Structure 1
Amino acid sequence: MSESGHSQPGMYGPGRRRRRRRDRDPGPPGQNLSGPSRDREFVPRERQCCEHMLFQSKPSAPVSGTPMEKPVMLIKPREEGGKSGVTPDAAPPASGTGVTKLEREGQRPTQPVYQIQNRGMGSAASSGAVDPVIGQTKLLPPEKMKHSIKLVDDQMSWCDSAMEYLRDQTDMLVVGVLGLQGTGKSTIMSLLSANTPEEDQRMYVFRAQTQEIKERGGNQSSGIDFYITQERVIFLDTQPVLSPSILDHLINNDRKLPPEYNLPHTYVEMQSLQIAAFLFTVCHVVIVVQDWFTDINLYRFLQTAEMLKPSTPSASHESTGSSGSEDGSEYYPHIIFLQNKASREEFCPRTLKDMHVIVDTLMTHSHLKYKGTLSMLDSNIFPGLERDYLGTEVNLFLLPMMESEGDEALARAGSGTTPLFSLLPGYRGHPSFSSLVAKLRSQVLAMSRNQLSHTILTEKNWFHYAARIWDGVKKSSALSEYSRLLS
């Protein structure tokens, strides 16, 4: 009776159960394999240790036929910065020596599920996934430029300072400008990029001519200046083409000419052709600014630069290829003729039509896209004119003088006398300067962004592509031969 009525501690007691669970020995033949002992056979070793500690803190189970209840685990996953797998919110065991010993030995009581998943993500990241640090950097807003920087300095050398403002994305627009000295190129580019007519001109991103420079007939810009907006539009401001002040500076300061040039005026003209040919290759839009209509020599200069423009680099060494343009493998940008400081008479519809006919006649044989993409009639500047009033509408836009300059001109014309209706605005014959600049900006930014080369370029790729084009322009055999003919 004593042998059958009392269980032997060594066979069925808690000590035996613990040894069988640690050694993973199978239970007695009559034991239910779907019970708690069957579940405990697949418990990880770290969890077994914790259950073992919690088991020791409880009294021994009564000797009965009912299975022992499974202990409740209150262990939470380890925090990233902590070393212990038990958080302060977890209920401490009755005997704290076991957890302390495990922490001292560098073991963790349990293996959190999210760490197992992270290991899987780590293997995926090693096979080509994006690094979280790099991904976070790409999500940061681009750095905003406060002023323009040099892309090409006054010595016609390439500068790399613009690289830090560029990103790895392809949705960009490149706008360049050409024009004679004093036509207002830097002012126009500042108003199209980041400034408003009401701001102080000394705060413009492209520095305009100061009064001192105007009085001595000098030029403000030299080389090529670079500025990129938050909307990822790259603006390139250039030194004046065929500039007399640059020629005067070369002669009076006895500056050394490069060995391939013999005369200063040849060097100045070749500098201008290099800049124009460069813009015709790397820009989506080129704005030609003039302050009176019109200089025939300027159109001859544009056609010469188009003739000496470097060929579009091909993706292969074959002579034929498709670039997506209508002119075969050669790329040509959109060109806009901007009539700055236009008078009231030039806003007359009949005068505007004559100007369109003249520009169309002068650019007939050009491959530059000089018509069909910009319209003054679509801007509602002439509300009474139909679209078919201009037979072939070229990319011509008129801007009047700025309000401050216009008011000074009116004051000089009126000899300082007060008009009869001083509270009413005077009739100008055209919309305000600010509204016209806004209409011009909206149309320029809406220009089609054709593919510059045979491959799609990101901003950083465009920078390397432009550097290669500039180096090719300076070493161009066609430009060297043309320079030899001018000497």
Structure 2
Amino acid sequence: MSDSGQSPAPGGRRRWPREKEPDGGGDRRDGGEEPGALMQKTPIILAKPPAERQQAKTGAAPAPPPPGPAPPIVLMKARGGGEEGRGGGGAGAGEGPALAPPREREGPRPTQPVYQLHGRGLPPPGALDPVAGQARLAAPEKMKTSIKLVDEQMNWCDSAIEFLLDQTDVLVVGVLGLQGTGKSTLMSLLAANQPEEDPRAFVFRPQSPEMKERGGSQTCGIDFFITQERVVFLDTQPILSPSILDHLINNDRKLPPEYSLPHTYVEMQSLQIAAFLFTVCHVVLLVQDWFTDLGLYRFLQTAEMVKPTTPSPSHEPSGAAGPEEPSEYYPHLVFVQNRARPEAFSPRRLRQMHGVLERLMAHSHLKYKGALSMLDCGLFPGLPEGFLPTEVNLFLLPPMEAEGEDAPPRAAPGGGPLFPLLPPFRGHSSFGALVARLRGRVLAAARAQLSHTLLTERNWCDWEHWEGLGGGLGVIGGDWRELEATGGN
């Protein structure tokens, strides 16, 4: 009766799932083995390095992970479908916790792409330095005040390089103007400040009352400030400044050997700054506080004449570059009429100012049209589209001190206020609204290529690059001795 019960067959059926179990022992299929002796199979490991596979065969387990004493997870695949549940039970009965099912563990679980990256020769995630990765992606330190880019001796300063990135999407805005026209205040309002803030907290320090009483200038050289939107603002010392000339004469400062008279040195220094801004800026603001000074336009024509030429991309002489000359780069020039009176906002006066600027700048290569128009800003909604025959980049700003109760309200015929709950009508928008419109149009200017090579922020701040173009502040592509002999005309 040993064969009547077919005991080996049922025993074989009981052992057959153990041989198919994912957590089972070896490959022995001998039916004569005792059921109590559970034989293990070699696990099939997917996407695991050979070193760890050999380690699994020898039985040496790696060090447990930090969260607990649980052994590492082994990715397994069962040979038959539907046996996974029974395989987990068999492993718990015949094995220790070394081959516990992965879904019974807690904590982070490595996935297959981690092993694939490791197999391709890339460093595992644990080998990456998170501090170094964050340092590469972190933005530079936010500036709170301006710093010197060029000092009063026309020497280049490298302190701005730590605030710059290796990216090309940057906008550079510079300013020119006579002394006391409000250049620093305007640049501060365009960069980071509001009109209601304390002027002593502006990023570009305006003239203090003591400096106004002495007739001095607050800014010397060129000041630098960059916003988080990657817009560079350059505030310059006043051009043709009498205070700088007075400082040279009264302090007996030694002039460079190529200059014999102090007023010639001040004029040449102003031309150097203007020509430098025409080379490195996308937008140049010309600030005036009255309309208009003819000597200022002669100064602009001279600075444009001594501006260094943009070399051809082939770095060859102009005769060998071919019949087609490379196009010269010129920035957008915006005329800002600061402290404009209410009658300047009338349509008739606005049309007259546009006509005068068009005739004065008719022979200039600077882009003085098409970038900014007060009609496009919606400040004169009642005017027709063709009211101005030539729309020059002219923007009017009222006095900042005229805000609040300075302007009297309009009176009704009976003597009382006409509309007591409405703000008084001044003939134009408020100073804050006009500055916001100007900021929006300036920041929306096209970020054209300044040189024949694509410049990053750090390359833009590299003095050797501009010096190679002839754009250094010492030699700006012109013969200064010849200009000195002619008086700068």
> How does the TM-score come out when normalised to structure 1?
0.74
Which secondary structure state, in structure 2, belongs to the residue aligned with residue 219 of structure 1? coil
State the SS of the aligned residue for 1:188.
Answer: helix
> How far, CA to CA, are the matches of 1:375 and 1:451 in structure 2?
23
Secondary structure at the aligned position of 2:233 is classed as: strand
Partner in structure 2 of residue 47 of structure 1: 56
Deviations 1:88-107 (A, max 9, x none): 9xx9x9999x9xxxxxxxxx
Contact map agreement 1:310 1:473 (CA 8 A) in 2: no
CA distance in 1, matches of 2:113, 2:421: 74
Describe the SS at the equivalent of 2:397.
strand
For 2:367, the equivalent position in structure 1 comes to 369
Paired residues for 1:77-476 under 5 Å: 79=65, 86=71, 116-120=115-119, 122-123=121-122, 135-319=133-317, 328-402=326-400, 404-405=401-402, 421=417, 425-464=423-462, 465-466=465-466, 472-476=472-476
Measured after TM superposition, the shift of residue 211 of structure 1 is: 0.5
How far does residue 148 in structure 1 lie from its aligned partner after superposition?
A: 0.3
**For 1:38 and 1:194, how far apart are their aligned partners in 2?**
68
Rounded Cα–Cα distance in structure 2 between residues aligned with 1:118 and 1:163? 37
Please name the residue that 2:479 is paired with.
478
Q: CA deviation at 1:480?
A: 3.6
Code of the residue aligned with 1:340 in structure 2: it is N
Q: Give 1:265's aligned amino acid.
A: H
In the alignment, the residues of structure 1 paired with residue 312 and residue 144 of structure 2 have an alpha-carbon distance, to the nearest angstrom, of: 36
- Give the conservation status (yes or no) of the 8 Å contact 1:278–1:470: no
Secondary structure class of the residue paired with 1:388: coil
Give the 3-state SS of the residue equivalent to 1:289 in structure 2: strand
Question: CA offsets, 1:143-193, max 9 Å, x none?
Answer: 210000000011110000000000011111100000000000000000001
Cα offset, 1:470, TM superposition: 7.6
Matching residue's letter, 1:171: D
Deviation for aligned residue 1:424: 5.5
Q: Which runs of 5+ in 1 are unaligned?
A: 1-25, 54-74, 99-110, 412-418
Q: Is the 8 A contact 1:78 1:85 kept in 2?
A: yes
Secondary structure of 2:339 counterpart: strand
The match for 1:65 is none
Q: 1-side partners of 2:289 and 2:466: how far apart? A: 29
Structure 2's unaligned 5+ residue stretches are 1-26, 33-38, 74-91, 99-109, 409-414
Letter in 2 for 1:478: D
Structure 1 residue 263: Cα displacement: 0.5
Q: Percent identity at matched positions? A: 58
Structure 2 CA distance for aligned equivalents of residues 344 and 261 of structure 1? 44
TM-fit CA distance, 1:78: 5.8
Whole-Å separation in 2 of the counterparts to 1:136 and 1:210 = 42
Name the amino acid aligned to 1:483: E
Judged with a 3 Å threshold, the aligned counterparts in structure 2 of structure 1 residues 441 and 95 are, in CA distance, closer, same or farther, namely closer
In the other structure, the counterpart of 2:15 is none
Task: Report the number of matched residues.
Answer: 409
What is the SS of the residue equivalent to 2:479? Answer: helix
* Structure 1 counterpart of 2:475, one-letter code: K
The 1:94/1:320 distance shift into structure 2, 3 A limit, reads same
For 2:455, give the aligned amino acid. L
Q: Distance in 1 between matches of 2:211 and 2:175?
A: 21
Alpha-carbon distance in 2 for matches of 1:445, 1:233: 8
Name whichever of 426-435 and 294-303 sits farther off.
Answer: 426-435
Q: Is the alpha carbon distance of 1:134 and 1:286 closer, same or farther for their aligned partners in structure 2, counting shifts above 3 Å?
A: farther
